[in-house]
Chains A and B, each alone.
Chain A
Amino acid sequence: MPVLPILCELAGALLLAAGNERGSRALLRRPVPLAPRRLARLTGFALLAIALWGLIRDESNLLFALTTWTLSCGSALLAAALACTLRDNPPARTHTHGRTRARQNATDTVP
């Protein structure tokens, strides 16, 4: 079980979330300026790259490693998004329906 690369990916995905405007506001519960977000994003990408390197070393087969990396990165990003959601909407506040944080929903059109 390639534990280290997976942990690396999870950390990378969380940093990518912190590098995203909405993601950072959810994780830290306050707006974050652009510069630290950019740093977080770059570190996140670097960690994902390190995870790929680790997987290639573990599997000693490029295509095996690439497949595993692609699939696990997706799952790690999903986990990061769920973490953002949990931070953003604590389960205790089920009755407010999130109405307190009226956000710029209009920017995302429903296709």
Chain B
Amino acid sequence: MKPTFRAAMTWLHDWTGILTGWVLLAIVLSGTLSVFRPEITAWMHPELAGRTADPVQASVAAIDWLHTHAPQSPAWYLTAAGPRAPFTWAVWQQQDGQFVQRALDPSSGAPDTIRDTLGGEFFYRFHFELQIPYPFGRPLAAIAALALVLALVTGIVAHRRFFTDFFTFRPRKGQRSWLDAHNLLGVTVLPFHLIIAFSGAVTLATLLLPWGIIAAYPGAPAQFEDDLSPAMSARPAAGTPGTLAPIEPILRDAARHFGADGIAQIYVYNPADAAATIIAIGGNGTHVGFNTHVLRFDGTTGRLLADYREHRPLISASAALYGLHVARFAPLPTRWLYFICGLLLAAVIASGLRLRTLRRRRQGKSTEVVERLNAGMIAGTPIAFAGYFLANRLLPTTLPDRAGHEVQAVFIVWGLMLLLAIALPSARSWRVLSCMATLALASVAAFSAPWLTGVAQGTAAVAILLAAGFAYAASRRQAPANRAP
């Protein structure tokens, strides 16, 4: 290996990290929270605490409610209730074309008794759409994912000594400690980091590299989706009104087909049309691949039109990568490991950003502005996300467009934290923001009261641990060459 190769890769590692570090940090943190998407939604609906739901019965109730309240919607998209979620998550279109997403009560199927909140959906959507207007967020997230792949691979070259230094972390030594932490956190979970970054790009591959589709399906790129998942597409609407067949037998039939995998999602297309279609997607109780078992029913007769199970090796492999990313298969211990590894990835990125400013300062360059922005992003993002949890409990439940205001709260808090970080000298802003993060996270733990359900206990435990981490960071002595955020 030529010495110049390593220098080039180090340069690339640094610049990839600097340019995408802040975006990646927000993506990684929101993705980490998305691991517990239904659990967070459950936390945000304390009305439903202690309820249980049968996926079929809850879906039947939801479809009955939608039948009377949103018959005109071109489609109803349901995510079935289950052991992790005592509610049906439904997305449909209002008369004015506006999309609505709500949790529906498992027994009445109505959203009225439940507060209006996006719950964990916010983090899930933010993870790959970044709250940026429609066509731009996803490609940006996809490029960020590939940048992470690049940063990881070049990082292996740049920090090549980490395999020998594996077990030594030297604390209280300034830059040396940050380098050790960066290497240690990066290398112990390296397989996770690599897979999650690459599979993240895979989930958005059709947006990033559509050229193969355009070349192979001239003039009809939608045909690719049909070939990819033949049972997933609906029939075109007939244009004549029709009535939906009784839904319960259809869903029982679907549940029988899926067996231990369970029903994950139910889409009803053109519910008031003679050519209504019901699509049921199997869950991941026994396999990793995402959406590899799909059933299509005739909505008016209830007849099974298609039963598609993915067997093509390449597409199964791609679906498995997708499945590894979204982790719908993961049993609870694995899910917690995903969560922990996600936090570690965020820590790798944060320590990398920190390392960069320390090195620049050692070279005698001014790092004050970057330092302040680092404080605003590294400590500000957890505060803003904690602010979302707090807004969920503090906003009145009768507020119109309550879910929208909760999301606004995140960005208001985020903006305020960034402004605060920019206004204060960096040494102060690390400490002030760490204190605020401690307070915010401790409040999240307090609002989880009465800590009776597993979800409340888990949320409170995570919040307290993170709060303790920030409290420790705030209490550290702030020596110039030896500072902890």
Contacts and interface: CB of A to CB of B under 8 A. Distances in A.
Are A and B close enough to touch in the complex, i.e. CB under 8 Å? yes
Interface of A: 1-2, 16-17, 20-23, 26, 59, 61, 63-64, 67-68, 70-72, 74-75, 77-78, 80-82, 84-85, 88-89, 94, 97-98, 105, 107-111
A23 B166 contact: yes
A20 B330 contact: no
Query: Which bracket fits the contact residues of B?
Result: 35 or more
Contacts of A111: 6, 10, 13, 158-159
Contacts of B447: none
Contacts of B329: 64
A97 B341 contact: no
Contacts of A81: 166-169, 184, 188
A17 to B, nearest CB: 4
Contacts of B40: none
Nearest to B189: A74
A105 B170 CA distance: 10
Given A17-B166, A59-B331, A70-B192, 5 more contacts: A2-B333, A67-B288, A74-B341, A108-B165, A110-B179
Given A80-B167, A98-B170, A70 B191 contact: yes
A88 B170 CA distance: 9
Contacts of B341: 71, 74-75
B121 to A, nearest CB: 25
Most buried by B among A2, A59, A64, A108: A108
Return the 8 tightest CB-CB contacts between A and B, nearest first.
A23-B167, A71-B337, A74-B189, A85-B169, A22-B168, A77-B188, A17-B167, A78-B188
A71 B338 contact: yes
Contacts of B172: 89, 94, 97-98
Most buried by B among A23, A72, A74: A74
B189 A68 contact: no
A98 B179 contact: no
A88 B334 contact: no
B167 A26 contact: yes
Given A2-B333, A61-B286, A67-B330, A20 B192 contact: no
Contacts of B165: 22, 108
Nearest to B324: A67
B234 interface: no
A23 B344 CA distance: 21
Contacts of B286: 61
B320 A63 contact: yes
B170 A82 contact: no
Most buried by A among B158, B173, B190: B173
A1 B333 CA distance: 6
A105 B191 CA distance: 27
Interface string B335-361: 001101100100000000000000100
23 contacts: A17-B166, A17-B167, A20-B164, A20-B166, A20-B167, A22-B165, A26-B168, A64-B329, A67-B334, A68-B333, A68-B337, A71-B338, A75-B189, A77-B188, A82-B169, A85-B170, A89-B171, A89-B172, A97-B172, A98-B172, A107-B161, A109-B161, A110-B175
Contacts of A16: 167
Nearest to A19: B167
Given A22-B168, A81-B166, A110-B359, A74 B161 contact: no
A26 B159 CA distance: 22
B287 interface: yes
A26 B166 CA distance: 12
Contacts of A109: 161
Nearest to A62: B288
B49 to A, nearest CB: 24
B340 to A, nearest CB: 6
A25 to B, nearest CB: 9
A22 to B, nearest CB: 4
B173 A98 contact: yes
B185 interface: yes
A59 B13 CA distance: 38
A105 to B, nearest CB: 7
A85 B192 contact: no
A98 B168 contact: no
Contacts of A80: 167
Contacts of B167: 16-17, 20, 22-23, 26, 80-81, 84
